[in-house]
């Protein structure tokens, strides 16, 4: 059974999967719009939680929330199974969906996705794919990070769905049952923008939102004093990798959020949102500059002209810029 599902290469796995599942069911929506309505943009810095031997850095909300927020705000009927204790049952329910011609989104661990080169088979359990077919013991996969569809054996898919480690997916699956062909986009976008503004600026926990960015800036300044040189540089490398390689990262998510704001501005002929989209792009450029200068520092420390102090200052500038930006868009009138 192979479902006629249109695969598209995406910038971000869950927003790409969400847009694809909605489009399959007749609701045309772009990936940036799905990301924005899903309030996907976020920041988390958890120095007391280690991921791949470094502090936990995250630029997105927790897995599953982009799909949940987008479909709820657009009044879409869905099916969501958060976790399974029995892998056999999880695979059986997936097969049942395929028999009913329902393409199904899955949260998976990348380590077991054998179609990736070895260097990309990472212990990262936040990845999302869409399964749209099965032939014998092989599943057809719409992989957001690839230009073409992929194949995966039943055993490897089961391992990916039940990957061990931090934030294991536990077989999670989700899908669309029925869409609202005339959703209230104005209401959905307004609610989404206010929610993102709140999460970034008003949850005064020092490790999330703009406060997390500023906290990381302050801690980064002290890394060379607190840790051996090799460890401090490794932490910086892992942070840059989280910006540029893991998911869409800092700059990429900001560019996507800017595209969402521009699409919303065009839809409602809203000059303020046009201006906001441009400003978001400028902030994304700051993230990209931070990555570039950090990488240059890592490769040629003595000649780069940067150090942990200057990089920390750039990060503080980003934190201040995002605080001002998200406080202001929280007041947007639509």
Instruction: Go through the chain and tell me how many residues it has.
Output: 334
User: Which pLDDT does position 248 carry in this prediction?
Assistant: 57
Helices marked H in the chain: 13-24, 31-37, 65-73, 87-99, 154-161, 185-201, 209-226, 229-244, 249-268, 271-299, 301-304, 308-329
Q: Which fold has domain 13-37+77-178?
A: Cathepsin B; Chain A (3.90.70)
Instruction: Kindly give, in sequence order, each residue whose CB lies less than 8 Å from that of residue 248, ignoring residues fewer than 6 positions away.
Output: 11, 12, 59, 60, 256
User: Which pLDDT does position 52 carry in this prediction?
Assistant: 77
3-state secondary structure of 79: strand
* Strand pairing report for 54-60 and 77-81: unpaired
Residue spans per domain, the chain: 13-37+77-178, 185-329
E strand or H helix at 43: strand 41-51
Using alpha carbons, select from 67, 63, 75 the residue that is nearest to residue 107.
63
∠ CA 60-15-119, rounded to 5°: 70
C-alpha 264 chain-centroid distance: 20
User: Which pLDDT does position 132 carry in this prediction?
Assistant: 98
User: Which pLDDT does position 302 carry in this prediction?
Assistant: 65
* Strand pairing report for 54-60 and 173-178: unpaired
Query: Across the 334 residues of the chain, what is the mean pLDDT of every consecutive 10-residue run?
Result: 94 94 97 97 92 86 93 97 93 97 96 84 85 97 95 97 90 96 96 97 90 97 94 93 70 92 96 96 94 88 82 97 96 86
Q: How deeply is 85 buried, as exposed, middle or buried, from its count of CB atoms within 10 A (0-12, 13-18, 19+)?
A: exposed
Q: For residue 159, is it left (φ>0), alpha (ψ between -120 and 50) or beta? A: alpha
Query: 131-140: string of b/e by CB count within 10 Å (b at 16+)?
Result: bbbbeeeebb
∠ CA 81-22-248, rounded to 5°: 80
């Amino acid at each position: 059974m192979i479902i006629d599902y249109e695969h598209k290469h995406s910038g971000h796995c869950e927003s790409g999967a969400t847009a694809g599942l909605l489009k399959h069911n007749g609701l045309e929506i772009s990936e940036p719009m799905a990301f924005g309505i899903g309030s996907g943009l976020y920041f988390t810095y958890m120095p007391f939680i280690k991921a791949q031997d470094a502090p936990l850095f995250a630029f997105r909300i927790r897995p599953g929330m982009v799909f949940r927020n987008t479909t709820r705000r657009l009044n879409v009927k869905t099916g969501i199974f958060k976790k399974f204790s029995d892998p056999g049952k999880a695979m059986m329910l997936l097969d049942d969906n395929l028999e009913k011609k329902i393409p199904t989104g899955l949260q998976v661990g990348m380590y077991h996705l054998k179609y990736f080169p070895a260097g990309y088979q990472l212990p990262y359990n936040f990845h999302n794919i869409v399964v749209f077919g099965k032939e014998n013991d092989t599943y057809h996969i719409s992989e957001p990070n690839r230009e073409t569809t992929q194949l995966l054996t039943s055993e490897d898919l089961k391992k990916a769905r039940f990957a061990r480690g931090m934030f294991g997916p536990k077989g999670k699956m989700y899908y669309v049952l029925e869409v609202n062909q005339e959703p209230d986009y104005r209401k959905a976008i307004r609610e989404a923008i206010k929610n993102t503004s709140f999460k970034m600026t008003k949850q005064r926990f020092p490790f999330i939102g703009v406060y997390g960015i500023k906290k990381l800036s302050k801690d980064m300044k002290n890394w060379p004093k607190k840790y051996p040189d090799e460890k401090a540089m490794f932490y910086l490398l892992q942070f840059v990798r989280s910006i540029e390689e893991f998911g869409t990262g800092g700059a990429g998510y900001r560019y996507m959020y800017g595209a969402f704001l521009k699409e919303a501005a065009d839809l409602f002929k809203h000059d303020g949102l046009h201006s906001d989209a441009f400003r978001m792009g400028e902030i994304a450029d700051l993230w990209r500059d931070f990555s570039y200068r950090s990488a240059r520092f890592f490769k040629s420390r003595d000649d780069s002209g940067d150090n942990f102090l200057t990089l920390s200052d750039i990060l503080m500038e980003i934190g201040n810029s995002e605080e001002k930006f998200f406080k202001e868009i929280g007041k947007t009138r639509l």
